[in-house]
Every structure is written in structure tokens, then in C-alpha cells.
């Protein structure tokens, strides 16, 4: 039942300043747990036929004459956030306030009916992610369309339940938006079990990401990352790669036959960044042919050093998922895009990119090419298939310090943050270090889920990112429990303190290496005292054989692929 004029008064307005009202509280406000007024509590200010809604952000003991004269025992500060209009007839809640409270207006408590009216978002794409902390009987809702279209972020220190909250949100989003595809950059390999048969897990063991899909900056990072090369080497590579692409495009290799010229070869533009196949053997042959025409020994050494770099990296077994078919050829871009971005999804709309399985030296380049292709796919398909890119430990790729991280990765994700919504490409950021995130990219996330944080720098960044009258909610972050969260922004009706639903045990995120569910075959060998499997894996023998058995270049994957 809605609050009426005869309800018990908890106090009255004694001061108004901007969007804040100071409330003198009577003894009734310090009654039992249900009626006691404390920080985080919602109260109502009766103003004619409307009920102005505010949240308590401060309670203090005052001794001013006005407080004593009116028998007020404490004073509370209320952040005004909205109002329920037409209280007696057909009540509806609206953000903002048409008429501000006046001195002496009556203050009353907010019951379950009012809270349901305030927080119930009646739209087809609304999902339930938990319940209000103030009243566990009232569900907490999020509008998926609003959350996705303007991006979102989940922030909080380690161990507060971020991963479980993310798994819950993504599961619910898939249920509400069957057209959505989701790609999760899983830094710790912990999400594979969270989505059942709705997700495929990709790792270097069961996927291929051919080198020719990488743009020039990315392939330079692959070839030169650990050992920076001379500027002349990089310039030479930029000159030779388009020639290798042209050679492959003009000539279709057929074993045992003469090369056949392709009729459409003249229509193709050859640049270092266009994703066209070429072969490492052609690249080296072009370099070798040029080197053979040189007489100056120092110039020949430049070519020889570049050839050695390319041969060393392309033959490294750790990079087999990039270079294994380096000299075979074949334009498999459509199949690779279909596998990574689930087109068609075949009942599996999600991809878990298990980054912990990739060599650390190439992780940045891999993330860069995947994020860049995600945007380009949305761009060139005119947003035909909505995609959500979820970045775990986002501060690794989008640092506030421009000198930290890989520039192309930052630019690729920044492009999604700034322009992706126009092409149906959405972004979800997860980080335990918000202060280290690029504030420009974080500012593009219009729905924020803030969990427990104690760092002052993190609080300061969030204050600048939360454009809401209830920014004082952030003062409560250090005291939040595990699984508790403050939700701000476009996806929720109001800034909300809620508790995430609990996931079933089998759907909880867990690191495979820690839980002991990965590599059982290897542990069995070690248990028998045999180190041969370890040596093979060390040298890359098992990586090459495993990759040969599951090669997505020959056929796109369907169903669930377990990494």
C-alpha cells in the first residue's frame, strides 16, 4: 500500500540546497530495524500529490536551536533523485524533480510498494540480476538494451565477486537478446564452465589466427616485439609485404601444375594492412632475390637479419597457431570470422578467448587483431549482427599511461568505445584497478557496476565518471560485502545498491589451473614418473600435433569447443 498523508512522520525538511535536503529526524526515525533511518535508506518527502524520493547519505547529531525547538534528535542529509507523481490515483515514478521540497515538508519512510514502483523497469529486454539490499523481496533489474548500447563496466577489487557478477549478467543478456553474440577475453581461463553449451572456448590448441590477418603494426610486434629492430628493417618489411600479397593474389598455387593467373587480381589493392593472404616463403624469396642483387656487404646484412628474424619467429612452436600454415596458403578469413564471432552461431552464441594459453609476448597483438576485427565486422556488415566484446582486466590494454601497453590494442578498443554502438559493437570492461584505466574510454561506459574498493584513486576516478546526484553512494564502497554492488547509469532505474544472484556451483568462474581441471592427462604422466610429455610440450611437439588435429582453417567449428 502506498504511503498516505496519515502515515507516521519521521521528521521534516529544515534546509534545502540544490539537489540536497537536510531533514530533522524525530525519535520515530530511530525505532526498529525496519524504520530506523541510516545511510543508504530511501525516504520520501510529501509535497502535495507527489512524493519526492531521496537517499540518505549522511546522518549526524545536531544541537542547533531549531533542532531542539522541534524535538529533532538527529539531522540527515538526503540526495533527491526523483518523485512519485499522482500518488493517490495512478502513481508513476519519474527521475528528477519538478517541484523542490520546501521547509517544513513532511518526511516519511518508503515501503516495499514504493520501492517496487521505483525500481521496476517494465520493458521486454529487462533482466533480473539480484535483489535490493534494502529489501531482499524486491528484484533488481537492468535494461539490457540500455546497458549494451552505451557500454558498461564492472569494477571492484579482487575477491569481491566480479567474475560471478559478470557471468550472471552475460547469461541473462543471452536469454533476453537471442540475437546477441558475445566474445570474452578471458585472461585467467576462468569462464569456460559458466555458460554450459552456449559457449565455445578457443585457445592455441584448437584455433588458428593466420599471420596475414594481422595489420602492419601487429605483425611488426610479432616479429620484432622482444628484440626491437632497426628502422631500416621495419621499412623494408613494409615494402615487401604488399609485394608478397600481390604475388599470392595473382598466382594461385596448384601442386604439380603451372601457376594460374587469377582474373580479378588487378582489382585488389595491395597495402600492408589489408587482410589478404600471403606466404612466408614468398616474403623470404622476395627478400632473398633483392639481397642477391646487392654488392654492398652491409646492405646484404640488413636483409639477412630480417630474413633470420622472420624464419626464427615463424618456426617457433609456441606461435604455431599463427604460422603453422604459413606456406600453404588459402583464404580462410570468412571461416575464421565465423568461428571467432559465431556466424552462424549454431546454438553457441558465445566465444571464450582463453588468453592464459597464449604466449605472453603475443597476447597484446592477438587482442589487438581480435578487437579490430570485431569493429570492422560490425562496420562492413552494417551492424547486421550485434556483438558484445568483454575485456577482463581491461587496465592491461587501456592504461591511463600512454607509454604502457600496446598502442594498436588501445586504439582498437577505444574505437569500439567511441564508435562501436553505431555498428552494433558493444563493450564491457572488467577491472580491479579503475584508476589505471584510460578515463576517456571509461567515460564511454554509461552503466557502471561498482563493487568494493578501498583505493582513494579508484574512488576519485569513479566520482568523475558517475554523473548522478547519488554520487555520494561511492562513499559506501569500502563497506560493501562480497556480491554487493552499486549500479549507476542508463541501464538501471536509479543508482541502486543490490546483491547479485548466486550462481549454481557448476557455473561459478574458476581458474582451470588452480581448480585442477585442465591438463589431467599431463598430471597422469607425471604421476607415473614420466617427463616425456613435459619435454614434448616444452619443445612444442604436442602443440604442433594437437593443432594439426583441430584445424579451423579447413572447416569452421560448430557446437562447443573445449580449450
- What's the grid cell of residue 316? 617457433
Work out the average pLDDT over 282-311. 85
Q: At what angle do helices 363-380 and 216-224 cross, to 10 degrees?
A: 170
Count CB-CB contacts under 10 A for residue 65.
7
CATH number of 141-208+332-518: 3.40.50.300
What is the pLDDT confidence band of residue 212, given thresholds at 50, 70 and 90? Answer: very high
Query: Above 60 in pLDDT, residue 529?
Result: no
Count CB-CB contacts under 10 A for residue 415.
17
Residues 18-70 have pLDDT tens digits of 888 999 988 877 766 667 888 888 899 998 888 999 888 888 886 566 655 56
What is the pLDDT confidence band of residue 269, given thresholds at 50, 70 and 90? Answer: low
Query: Above 50 in pLDDT, residue 419?
Result: yes
- What's the grid cell of residue 331? 583464404
What pLDDT does 547 receive? 42
Residues 319-356 have pLDDT tens digits of 999 998 887 778 889 999 999 999 988 899 999 999 99
Instruction: Tell which wins on pLDDT, 233 or 531.
Output: 233
Is this structure's pTM higher than 0.75?
Answer: yes
Count CB-CB contacts under 10 A for residue 195.
22
Query: Above 90 in pLDDT, residue 563?
Result: no
Percent with pLDDT over 90 in the chain? 39
Query: Above 90 in pLDDT, residue 409?
Result: yes
Work out the average pLDDT over 289-302. 78
In the chain, what are the domain boundaries?
A: 9-119, 141-208+332-518, 213-322
| Strand positions, DSSP E, 188-236 | 199-202
**Inter-CA distances, 469 with 18, 65, 301, 457, 466, Å:** 10, 30, 65, 20, 9
3-state per-residue secondary structure call for 224-291: HCCCCCCHHHHHHHHHHHHHHHHHHHHEECCCCCCCEECCCHHHCCCCCCCCCCCCHHHHHHHHHHHH
What pLDDT does 252 receive? 53
What pLDDT does 271 receive? 86
Mean pLDDT of the chain: 82
Query: Above 80 in pLDDT, residue 559?
Result: no
Query: Above 80 in pLDDT, residue 471?
Result: no
Amino acid at each position: 500500500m502506498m504511503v498516505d498523508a496519515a502515515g507516521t512522520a519521521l521528521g521534516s525538511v529544515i534546509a534545502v540546497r540544490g539537489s540536497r535536503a537536510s531533514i530533522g529526524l524525530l525519535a520515530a526515525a530511530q525505532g526498529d530495524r525496519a524504520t530506523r533511518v541510516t545511510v543508504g535508506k530511501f525516504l520520501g518527502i510529501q509535497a502535495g500529490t507527489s512524493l519526492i524520493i531521496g537517499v540518505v547519505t549522511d546522518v549526524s547529531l545536531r544541537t542547533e536551536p531549531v533542532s531542539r525547538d522541534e524535538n529533532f534528535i538527529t539531522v540527515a542529509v538526503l540526495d533527491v533523485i526523483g518523485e512519485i507523481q499522482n500518488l493517490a490515483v495512478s502513481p508513476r515514478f519519474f527521475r528528477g524533480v519538478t517541484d523542490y521540497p520546501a521547509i517544513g515538508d513532511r518526511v516519511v519512510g518508503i515501503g516495499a510498494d514504493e520501492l517496487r514502483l521505483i525500481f521496476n523497469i517494465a520493458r521486454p529486454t529487462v533482466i533480473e540480476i539480484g535483489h535490493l539490499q534494502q529489501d531482499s523481496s524486491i528484484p533488481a533489474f537492468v535494461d539490457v538494451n540500455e546497458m549494451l548500447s552505451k557500454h558498461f563496466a564492472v569494477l571492484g577489487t579482487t575477491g569481491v565477486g566480479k567474475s560471478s557478477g559478470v557471468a550472471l549478467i552475460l547469461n541473462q543478456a543471452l536469454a533476453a537478446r537471442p540475437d546477441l553474440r558475445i566474445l570474452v577475453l578471458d585472461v585467467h581461463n576462468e569462464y569456460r564452465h559458466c555458460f554450459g553449451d552456449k559457449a565455445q572456448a578457443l585457445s592455441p590448441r584448437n584455433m588458428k589466427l593466420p599471420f596475414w590477418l594481422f595489420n602492419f603494426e601487429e605483425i611488426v610486434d610479432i616479429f620484432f616485439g622482444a628484440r626491437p629492430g632497426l628502422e631500416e628493417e621495419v621499412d623494408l618489411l613494409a615494402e615487401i609485404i604488399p609485394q608478397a600479397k600481390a604475388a599470392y593474389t595473382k598466382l594461385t598455387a596448384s601442386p604439380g601444375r603451372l601457376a594460374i593467373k587469377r582474373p580479378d587480381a588487378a582489382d585488389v589493392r595491395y597495402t600492408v594492412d589489408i587482410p589478404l593472404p600471403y606466404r612466408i616463403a614468398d616474403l623470404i624469396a622476395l627478400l632473398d632475390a633483392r639481397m642477391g642483387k646487392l654488392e654492398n656487404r652491409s646492405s646484404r646484412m640488413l636483409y639477412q637479419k630480417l630474413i633470420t628474424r622472420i624464419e626464427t619467429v615463424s618456426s617457433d612452436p609456441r606461435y604455431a597457431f599463427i604460422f603453422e600454415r604459413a606456406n600453404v596458403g588459402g583464404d580462410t578469413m570468412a571461416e575464421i570470422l565465423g568461428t571467432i564471432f559465431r556466424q552462424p552461431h549454431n546454438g553457441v552464441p558465445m566465444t571464450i578467448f582463453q588468453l592464459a594459453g597464449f604466449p605472453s609476448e603475443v597476447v597484446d597483438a592477438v587482442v589487438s587483431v581480435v578487437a579490430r576485427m570485431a569493429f570492422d565486422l560490425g562496420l562492413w556488415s552494417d551492424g547486421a549482427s550485434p556483438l558484445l566484446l568483454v575485456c577482463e582486466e581491461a587496465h592491461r590494454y587501456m592504461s591511463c599511461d600512454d607509454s604502457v601497453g600496446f598502442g594498436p590494442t588501445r586504439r582498437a578498443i577505444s574505437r569500439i568505445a567511441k564508435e562501436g554502438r553505431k555498428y552494433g559493437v558493444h563493450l564491457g570492461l572488467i577491472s580491479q584497478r579503475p584508476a589505471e584505466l584510460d578515463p576517456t574510454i571509461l567515460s564511454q561506459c554509461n552503466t557502471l557496476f561498482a563493487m568494493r574498493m578501498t583505493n582513494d584513486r579508484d574512488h576519485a576516478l569513479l566520482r568523475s565518471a558517475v554523473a548522478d546526484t547519488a554520487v555520494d553512494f561511492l562513499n559506501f564502497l569500502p563497506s560493501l560485502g562480497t556480491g554487493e554492488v552499486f549500479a549507476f547509469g542508463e541501464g538501471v532505474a536509479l543508482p541502486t545498491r543490490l546483491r547479485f544472484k548466486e550462481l549454481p556451483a557448476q557455473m561459478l568462474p574458476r581458474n582451470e589451473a588452480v581448480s585442477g581441471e585442465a591438463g589431467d592427462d599431463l598430471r597422469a604422466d607425471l604421476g607415473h614418473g614420466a617427463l616425456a610429455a613435459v619435454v614434448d610440450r616444452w619443445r612444442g611437439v604436442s602443440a604442433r600435433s594437437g593443432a594439426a588435429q583441430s584445424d579451423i582453417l579447413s572447416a569452421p567449428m560448430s557446437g562447443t569447443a573445449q580449450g
